[in-house]
A and B are shown apart, each in its own frame.
Chain A
């Protein structure tokens, strides 16, 4: 009987570094699955656009930024100079400023030898799972190990998929048609819904979604940046408006 009771009770708090590490590695799996087709396509596309296999692998290993790598592969095909590609990469990656500034309160006490690799491995996917871990209420001192586990899993998968694309890409049927990338969409949906506890949050998400759709044709992920900034603005402004009209309206979070 006591066994069935323990299995009914909530899971124990994750505490030790290795438990945190492996939980992070596990929690990012749906997003890793969603990235598989893109890694394979990148390996295939970059080499067929004229980047050497070695440089293609090196780009995944040292740059590790999916969107930028895709845009770079496209620019290589059109004979664009390296400097312009580098400047474009900078613009495409600006959204990481939003992620890293959001993580500042949680990582500021870490030593440099942690901040450097954690920054290097910061991606959309890692941010999504890691901020969730940091925002959860328990007082674990090892949440950076969760970050490391999640980020490393994403990184290793990206290297393997790039290699797969380079070596077997021509034999693999069109990876865009698999639908695996949809795993990212449903994961993000499941992460967003719990935030929608008050009107400002709902307004900010609705504004961001609408702007993202209509600004999707902007180059270099600028539509995403615009949508994020306008969504944040809409949330903050509606917070102020709602708190002046209904003074107790937003304090029930």
Chain B
């Protein structure tokens, strides 16, 4: 394995994807339709990252009270929906998750 080539190549492959739109940003004009579609990017990407983390366990769908992540996520959804307080959502979600996990070990 040529480690130098590997790291240089991975660096270019990563940076080019991250930079191409930034580099062109002063010259490109995004159409109103595209700008409208981009409003969906944050919620859609974040939920696409979270859903498998919460609902899959070793690649299999895990829906039930045995799934401490699901219980913690439901608590987080309820807190976020009722309070809109991000820090409280994080704290309550983590506490419920750890407590539930602890209860199941007992």
Min C-beta distance of A69 to chain B, whole Å: 8
Q: With A65-B10, A115-B19, A192-B42 given, name 7 new contacts (CB 8 A).
A: A62-B10, A100-B22, A118-B22, A119-B22, A120-B18, A182-B69, A193-B77
Given contacts A213-B56, A216-B59, whether A86 and B43 have CB atoms under 8 Å apart is no
The answer, yes or no, to whether B20 is at the interface (CB within 8 Å) is yes
B18 adjacent to A100 (CB under 8 Å): yes
Residues of B within 8 A of A137 (CB): none
Given contacts A104-B30, A131-B42, A186-B76, whether A124 and B49 have CB atoms under 8 Å apart is yes
A187 adjacent to B86 (CB under 8 Å): yes
Residues of B within 8 A of A181 (CB): 53
A62 adjacent to B20 (CB under 8 Å): no
B1-58: which have CB < 8 Å to A? 1-3, 5-23, 25-26, 28, 30, 35-38, 40-56
The answer, yes or no, to whether A154 is at the interface (CB within 8 Å) is no
Residues of B within 8 A of A235 (CB): 37, 40, 44
28 A-B Cβ contacts within 8 A? A50-B1, A51-B3, A55-B6, A62-B8, A65-B10, A100-B22, A101-B38, A107-B22, A108-B26, A127-B42, A135-B42, A182-B53, A182-B97, A186-B89, A188-B46, A190-B80, A190-B89, A190-B90, A191-B46, A192-B47, A195-B42, A205-B44, A217-B59, A223-B48, A231-B47, A231-B48, A232-B44, A239-B36
B70-97: which have CB < 8 Å to A? 72-73, 76-77, 79-81, 84-86, 89-90, 93-94, 97
B40 adjacent to A63 (CB under 8 Å): no
Lowest 7 A-B CB distances belong to which pairs? A186-B93, A86-B9, A190-B89, A231-B44, A209-B51, A227-B48, A108-B25
Secondary structure call for the A interface: helix
B52 adjacent to A216 (CB under 8 Å): yes
B86 adjacent to A191 (CB under 8 Å): yes
Min C-beta distance of A59 to chain B, whole Å: 5
* Chain A positions near chain B (C-beta within 8 angstroms): 30, 50-52, 54-55, 58-59, 62-65, 68, 72, 76, 82-83, 85-87, 89-90, 93-105, 107-109, 115-116, 118-120, 122, 124, 127-128, 131-132, 135, 179, 181-196, 200-201, 204-205, 208-213, 216-217, 223-224, 227-228, 231-232, 235-236, 239
Residues of B within 8 A of A104 (CB): 21-22, 25, 28, 30
Given contacts A100-B20, A183-B94, A191-B86, whether A83 and B9 have CB atoms under 8 Å apart is yes
Residues of B within 8 A of A68 (CB): 10, 13-14
Interface size of B by CB at 8 A reads 67
Taken together as a complex, chains A and B put the C-alpha atoms of A144 and B101 apart, in Å, by 39
Residues of A within 8 A of B18 (CB): 93, 96, 100, 119-120, 122
Taken together as a complex, chains A and B put the C-alpha atoms of A208 and B55 apart, in Å, by 14
Residues of A within 8 A of B14 (CB): 63-65, 68, 89-90, 93, 96
Residues of B within 8 A of A89 (CB): 9-10, 13-14
A195 adjacent to B1 (CB under 8 Å): no
Taken together as a complex, chains A and B put the C-alpha atoms of A90 and B77 apart, in Å, by 34
A179 adjacent to B3 (CB under 8 Å): no
Give A236's nearest chain B residue, CB to CB: B37
